Amino acid sequence: MNGFSRYLEAAGAAPAADLVEGAPLSPARRDWLKTAGALTGLVLAVGASGVVRAADAASEKKYGGDGMPHGTVDDPLVFVSIGKDGIVTILSHRAEMGTGVRTGLPMVVADELEADWSRVRVMQAPGDEPRYGNQDTDGSRSTRHFFQPMRRVGAAARGMLEAAAARQWGVPVEEVAARNHEVVHEKSGRKVGYGELAEAAAKLPVPKGSALRLKQPEQFRYIGKQSTRSVDIQDIVTGNTHFGIDTRLDGMLYASISRPAVLGGKVKRYNADAAMQVPGVVKVVELPAGPTPPMFAPLGGVAVIAQDTWAALKGRQALEIEWDDGPHAGYDSQAFRKTLSEAAGKPAKAVRNDGDAMKALEGAARRIQAEYYLPHLAHATMEPPAATARIVDGKCEVWACVQSPYGTRENVAKHLGMDISAVTVHQTLLGGGFGRKSKSDFVVEAALLSRAMDGKPVKVTWSREDDITNDYFHTVSVERIEAGVDAQGKAVAWLHRTAAPTIGSTFVANAEGQQPFELGMSAVNIPFDIPNFRVESVPVPAHTRIGWFRSVSNIPHAFAVQSFVAEMAHELKRDPRDYLLELIGPPRKISPAEMSDSWNYGESPTLYPLDTGRMRHVVELATKEAGWGRQLPPGRGMGVAVCYNFVTYIATVVEVEVAKDGTLVVPQVHVAVDCGPQVHPDRVRAQTEGACIMGLSLATRSEISFTHGRTDQTNFHQYEVTRMPEAPRDIKVHLVEHGYDVPLGGVGEPAVPPFAPALCNAIFAATGKRIRSLPIRDQLKT
Candidate ranges 73-81, 206-214, 378-386, 650-658; the one touching another protein (CB under 8 A):
378-386
Query: CB of residue 611 vs another protein: minimum separation in angstroms?
Result: 28
Cα(430)–Cα(437) distance, integer angstroms: 8
> Quick one: 554 exposed, middle or buried, by C-beta within 10 A (0-12, 13-18, 19+)?
buried
| Footprint of another protein on 433-472 (CB under 8 A) | 433-434, 461, 463-465
Q: Rule CB under 8 A: say whether 317 interacts with another protein.
A: no
Query: CB of residue 715 vs another protein: minimum separation in angstroms?
Result: 6
Strand partners, 276: none
Contact indicator for 587, 613 with CB cutoff of 8 Å: yes
> Quick one: 586 exposed, middle or buried, by C-beta within 10 A (0-12, 13-18, 19+)?
exposed
CA–chain centroid gap for 545, Å, is: 17
Query: CB of residue 261 vs another protein: minimum separation in angstroms?
Result: 18
Candidate ranges 55-63, 90-98, 149-157, 266-274; the one touching another protein (CB under 8 A):
90-98
Q: Rule CB under 8 A: say whether 487 interacts with another protein.
A: no
Q: Rule CB under 8 A: say whether 310 interacts with another protein.
A: yes
Nearer to another protein, 267 or 377 (CB): 377
Nearer to another protein, 317 or 707 (CB): 317
Among 72, 309, 333, 604, binds another protein (CB under 8 A): 309
Nearer to another protein, 728 or 745 (CB): 728
Among 243, 266, 292, 355, binds another protein (CB under 8 A): 243
Closest CA to 151 of 100, 111, 194: 111
Query: CB of residue 690 vs another protein: minimum separation in angstroms?
Result: 4
Among 230, 554, 668, 700, binds another protein (CB under 8 A): 230
Helix orientation angle between 405-416 and 441-452, rounded to the nearest 10 degrees? 40
Contact indicator for 640, 622 with CB cutoff of 8 Å: yes
Nearer to another protein, 427 or 722 (CB): 722
Strand partners, 387: 400, 460
DSSP 443-499: HHHHHHHHHHTTT--EEEE--HHHHHHS--BBP-EEEEEEEEE-TTS-EEEEEEEEE
For 654, left (φ over 0), alpha (ψ -120 to 50), or beta?
A: beta
Query: CB of residue 381 vs another protein: minimum separation in angstroms?
Result: 6
Nearer to another protein, 612 or 697 (CB): 697
Nearer to another protein, 151 or 670 (CB): 670
| Binding string, residues 591-610; x marks residues near another protein by CB under 8 A | --------------------
Q: Rule CB under 8 A: say whether 716 interacts with another protein.
A: yes
Site size toward another protein (CB under 8 A) is: 66
Query: CB of residue 389 vs another protein: minimum separation in angstroms?
Result: 17
Among 175, 232, 512, 620, binds another protein (CB under 8 A): 232
Q: Tell me, what DSSP letter sits at residue 410?
A: H
| Binding string, residues 101-130; x marks residues near another protein by CB under 8 A | ------------------------------
Among 88, 281, 318, 380, binds another protein (CB under 8 A): 380
Candidate ranges 210-218, 510-518, 576-584, 726-734; the one touching another protein (CB under 8 A):
726-734
Query: CB of residue 697 vs another protein: minimum separation in angstroms?
Result: 8
Nearer to another protein, 75 or 96 (CB): 96
Closest CA to 481 of 468, 495, 470: 495
Query: CB of residue 681 vs another protein: minimum separation in angstroms?
Result: 11
Strand partners, 636: 657
Calculated CA dihedral for residues 333, 338, 344, 345, nearest 10 degrees? 170
Calculated CA dihedral for residues 122, 127, 132, 136, nearest 10 degrees? 100
Nearer to another protein, 378 or 560 (CB): 378
Q: Please give the sequence-ordered ranges of beta strands (E in DSSP) within 26-75, or none if there are none.
A: none
Query: CB of residue 461 vs another protein: minimum separation in angstroms?
Result: 7
Residue 358, CA distances (Å) to 372, 484, 486, 533, 743 in order: 21, 9, 14, 9, 38
Which backbone phi and psi does 476 adopt, to 5 degrees?
Answer: -110, 145
Cα(627)–Cα(620) distance, integer angstroms: 11
List of residues 6+ apart from 636 with CB closer than 8 A: 655, 656, 657, 658, 766
Q: Rule CB under 8 A: say whether 274 interacts with another protein.
A: no
Among 308, 342, 362, 737, binds another protein (CB under 8 A): 308
Among 31, 111, 182, 246, binds another protein (CB under 8 A): 246
Among 3, 126, 384, 637, binds another protein (CB under 8 A): 384
Candidate ranges 11-19, 61-69, 226-234, 703-711; the one touching another protein (CB under 8 A):
226-234
Nearer to another protein, 289 or 378 (CB): 378
Among 288, 330, 432, 455, binds another protein (CB under 8 A): 432
Candidate ranges 32-40, 79-87, 307-315, 628-636; the one touching another protein (CB under 8 A):
307-315
Dihedral angle sign, alpha carbons of residues 4, 6, 9, 15 = negative
Dihedral angle sign, alpha carbons of residues 309, 310, 315, 318 = positive
CA–chain centroid gap for 260, Å, is: 27
Cα(286)–Cα(672) distance, integer angstroms: 52
Query: CB of residue 372 vs another protein: minimum separation in angstroms?
Result: 24
Query: CB of residue 93 vs another protein: minimum separation in angstroms?
Result: 18
Nearer to another protein, 16 or 236 (CB): 236
DSSP 287-351: EPPPPSS-TT----EEEEEESSHHHHHHHHHT-EEEEE-GGGTT--HHHHHHHHHHHHTS--EEE
Q: Rule CB under 8 A: say whether 237 interacts with another protein.
A: yes
Candidate ranges 139-147, 175-183, 484-492, 728-736; the one touching another protein (CB under 8 A):
728-736
Q: Rule CB under 8 A: say whether 731 interacts with another protein.
A: yes
Among 69, 133, 149, 431, binds another protein (CB under 8 A): 431
- Three-class secondary structure of residue 191 per DSSP: strand
Contact indicator for 759, 666 with CB cutoff of 8 Å: yes
> Quick one: 568 exposed, middle or buried, by C-beta within 10 A (0-12, 13-18, 19+)?
buried
Neighbouring C-beta atoms of residue 44, cutoff 10 Å = 9
Nearer to another protein, 9 or 235 (CB): 235
Count of residues for the chain? 782
Candidate ranges 230-238, 346-354, 475-483, 655-663; the one touching another protein (CB under 8 A):
230-238
| Footprint of another protein on 647-706 (CB under 8 A) | 682-683, 686-687, 689-694, 697
Nearer to another protein, 359 or 723 (CB): 723
Among 32, 147, 254, 549, binds another protein (CB under 8 A): 254
3-state secondary structure 430-450: CCCCCCHHHCCHHHHHHHHHH
CA–chain centroid gap for 280, Å, is: 39
Among 430, 443, 458, 664, binds another protein (CB under 8 A): 430
Query: CB of residue 263 vs another protein: minimum separation in angstroms?
Result: 24
List of residues 6+ apart from 453 with CB closer than 8 A: 253, 282, 283, 305
Nearer to another protein, 566 or 669 (CB): 669
Q: Which chain residues interact with another protein by CB under 8 A?
A: 96-100, 229-230, 232-234, 236-243, 245-246, 248, 254, 279, 308-310, 313, 380-384, 429-434, 461, 463-465, 682-683, 686-687, 689-694, 697, 715-717, 721-725, 727-731
